[in-house]
Amino acid sequence: MKKVEFPDQSVWPSLLARPVLSLEEIDKRVAPIMNEVKEKGDEALKTFAEKFDGVKLDVIELSLTEWEEVDDLLDEELKSAIHLAAQNIKKFHSSQLIQEPVVETMPGVKCWRKSVAIEKIGLYIPGGTAPLFSTVLMLAIPANLVGCKEIVLCSPPNKSGKIHPAIIYAAKLTGVHKIFKAGGAQAVAAMTFGTETISKVYKIFGPGNQYVMAAKQLALKHNVAIDMPAGPSEVAVIADQTANPAYIAADLLSQAEHGKDSQVILFTDSREILNQVEKEINQQLERLPRKEYAAMSLGNSRLILVEDLEQAMEMSNAYAPEHLILAVENPEFLAEKVINAGSVFLGNLSCESLGDYASGTNHTLPTNGYATAYSGVSIDTFIKKITFQKVTEEGLRNIGKAVEIMAGAEELDAHKNAVSIRLKNL
């Protein structure tokens, strides 16, 4: 990791820059995959499964037998952990189900909003070396709470044509309706356009590699919504002299191991903490099974010594991290100054991994600086809010003249007449 001391504000943009991805080159590779699936449907999915996943599939949809046998493929300890996480996630997200009031903006004019679930949604769940069954919980639980009618899930099969049993178990627990053996950009294409087997959805959720992310961006051009734009995983830690260096190193490595494009940053006002964290990272890295991924990520990462915690928070808000850990003596005070972050973890015991799995908050969060404008996934991500209004005779008399004047000023006479014709008949 690169160490930087007391950087001048003029160099912050370059210092806090993410690893640059060649998006144009990625799009060139993804667009033909999207078009192939659009034109050839299931046939294209099977071709790509053989090409990219190394498996020849006869059937894309998960069979009833595979649904039923999954209970026997996981040990009880893991199943209990999944249930505990699901319980906490459901409890936290249930608190977001709020009935909004009817508002009388003036006598005789009532306005309100109604939350309506998005009917058809698609979940993309990565498999391979890191099968993210926890993401199934994060996405399917709120989708079910709001009442999405059709929830489909795509995940890449292994070379035996199987999907990781923990993904299936989490899907079964949370009410996913169908699972399909499709990965990468081709899975996103299938949910965007529909195939003989996979239904077209209205919104696509879930993480993935740079090709999946590019495919999701292309889905927007075909009237399919996505949860949020995203990039590689990242974490920032703000630490003072009370922090535990071993904890900080573990937190930084927990995000670094996601992949070579991930990025982690430490802001601290303590030179001693900075040096101890660097030492701990080097020691802990050697014990990680995914140390090659983590090591590449650390090449994109920074250990930054700042003047004080005020400057640390200013730099963090400029960076807008996906995850922010406040490993300081008074985290509640510092938390009030957070403006840009996906999810915040307060104190030395609140490690980011807890939010990734089981505390209850959602781990599908804005990355790549999008926390300046986007929120993490919540109940609201799975609903549309439709406005309603009802106007009585009294209300029309109270509001009508103002509308006539405004429509006339904009030279939209048909708008004005829609009010005038009613006022004349009162």
- Look at residue 83 and tell me whether its pLDDT is greater than 90: yes
Sign of the torsion formed by the C-alpha atoms of 335, 341, 342 and 347? negative
- Look at residue 401 and tell me whether its pLDDT is greater than 90: yes
Confidence band for 88, pLDDT divided at 50, 70 and 90: very high
- What percent of the chain clears pLDDT 70, i.e. is strictly above it? 100
Helix (H, G, I), strand (E, B) or coil at 327: strand
| Helix spans in 112-244 (H) | 133-146, 165-174, 184-193, 210-220
> Which of 182, 166, 40, 175 minimizes the C-alpha distance to 121?
175
pTM of the predicted protein model: 0.94
Which residues are identified as catalytic? 322-323
Confidence band for 113, pLDDT divided at 50, 70 and 90: very high
Count of beta carbons in the 10 Å neighbourhood of residue 221: 9
Q: What pLDDT shows up at residue 229?
A: 86
> What are 291-318's pLDDT values in tens digits?
898 999 999 999 999 999 999 999 999 9
Domains of the chain in sequence order: 2-20+231-360 (3.40.50.1980), 23-226 (3.40.50.1980), 392-425 (1.20.5.1300)
- Look at residue 19 and tell me whether its pLDDT is greater than 90: no
Segment among 221-230, 302-311, 411-420 with least mean pLDDT: 221-230
> What are 268-281's pLDDT values in tens digits?
999 999 999 999 99
- Tell me the C-alpha to C-alpha distance, in Å, between residue 207 and each of 76, 202, 216, 315: 27, 17, 10, 26
- Residue 286 DSSP label: T
State the maximum Cα–Cα separation within the chain, in Å, rounded to a whole number.
83
What is the arithmetic mean of pLDDT over 144-150? Answer: 98
> What are 52-77's pLDDT values in tens digits?
999 999 999 999 999 999 999 999 99
Q: How far apart are CA 17 and CA 203, in angstroms?
A: 30
Taking the CA atoms of the chain, what radius of gyration do you get in angstroms?
A: 25
Q: First vs last Cα of the chain: how many Å apart?
A: 75
Tokens of 67: 């649904």
What is the arithmetic mean of pLDDT over 326-340? Answer: 98
> Which amino acid, one-letter code, is at 39?
E
Confidence band for 230, pLDDT divided at 50, 70 and 90: confident
Secondary structure (DSSP) of 26-47:
HHHHHHHHHHHHHHHTHHHHHH
Backbone angles phi, psi at 336, to 5 degrees: -65, -20
**Which bin fits 325, alpha (ψ -120 to 50), beta or left (φ > 0)?**
beta
How high does pLDDT run on average in the chain?
A: 96
Tokens of 301: 């990462």
Q: What pLDDT shows up at residue 299?
A: 92
Give Cβ neighbours of residue 32 (< 8 Å, ≥ 6 apart): none
- Look at residue 23 and tell me whether its pLDDT is greater than 80: no
Inter-axis angle of helices 133-146 and 165-174, to 10 degrees? 10
CA 321 to chain centre: 13
> Which of 236, 241, 248, 235 minimizes the C-alpha distance to 330?
241
Sign of the torsion formed by the C-alpha atoms of 174, 177, 180 and 185? negative
Q: How far apart are CA 254 and CA 232, in angstroms?
A: 13
